[in-house]
Amino acid sequence: MDGPHQNQPLVTAGTPLDEADAAVVLVHGRGATARSIVQMAQQFHHEGVAYLAPQAQRNTWYPNPFTAPVETNEPGRTSGLQAIADAIGDANDANIPTERVVLLGFSQGACLASEFVARNPDRYGGLAALSGGLIGETIDPDDYTGDLEGTPVFFGCSDVDPHIPEERVHESADVFERLHADVTKRLYPGMGHTINQDEADQVSAMIAALV
């Protein structure tokens, strides 16, 4: 497809892709950059892992809140999902199977990453949705079908996040359980819109399991 996020740079870090045993696709939040989320990922770097971070045009994947009607966030939403698919494709082309690819997103990136995995069920290395949930004004579990075959999925979020309603985290986790993911969900009391050490430890363990 030819959307706003296609032809944007793909930032890479860690072990070179053609030498890596696993890959992590990093999806940055609104107003952030691919380089910034790659820098954040240094705290859970493991040897043998390649990091791939697509960049959103003008640093934003879609213009409105993730709980807005889906059509108001097009074409950015669909173009962002394609950017994730392309990054996974790059890993697959380097002989890293999808089951050894972890998707990690923060905030708007977490919404996009979780939406991608739920709409493209397969056995992934894992999904870490940090301060995010499935996209849409409402969530209909019947819109998501397939089998994630035990893919480890981690949802971490504040219980008072100003951007992510707690209920949407619960609804999203429920959808992933219906898709046969191995779901871990943690709501942190009073935390800001950020990533804490427990979340970083969860992600690090998820990645370490692949190398």
Instruction: Please write the tens of the pLDDT for every residue from 20-53.
Output: 999 999 999 999 999 999 999 988 889 999 999 9
On whether residue 183 sits in a domain, the answer given is yes
State the chain's maximal CA–CA distance in angstroms: 42
Please compute the mean of the pLDDT values over residues 119-138 and round it to a whole number: 98
Question: What is the C-alpha to C-alpha distance for residues 35 and 12, in angstroms, rounded to an integer?
Answer: 9
Domain of residue 81, residue span: 10-143+153-209
Please compute the mean of the pLDDT values over residues 79-107 and round it to a whole number: 98
pTM tops 0.95, yes or no: yes
* Residue in 1, 54, 45 with CA at minimum distance from that of residue 22: 45
On whether residue 5 sits in a domain, the answer given is no
On whether residue 148 sits in a domain, the answer given is no
On whether residue 82 sits in a domain, the answer given is yes
Q: How many domains does the chain have?
A: 1
On whether residue 4 sits in a domain, the answer given is no
Q: DSSP class of residue 23? A: E
Look up the CATH number of the domain holding residue 60. Answer: 3.40.50.1820
pLDDT of residue 122: 98
Q: What's the chain's average pLDDT?
A: 97
Please compute the mean of the pLDDT values over residues 144-159 and round it to a whole number: 98
On whether residue 97 sits in a domain, the answer given is yes
pLDDT of residue 69: 97
180 SS3 class: coil
Please compute the mean of the pLDDT values over residues 71-77 and round it to a whole number: 98
On whether residue 201 sits in a domain, the answer given is yes
CA dihedral of residues 207, 57, 76, 127 (deg, nearest 10): 0
**Which residue type does 90 have?**
D
Backbone angles phi, psi at 170, to 5 degrees: -65, -45
On whether residue 2 sits in a domain, the answer given is no
pLDDT of residue 43: 87
138 SS3 class: coil
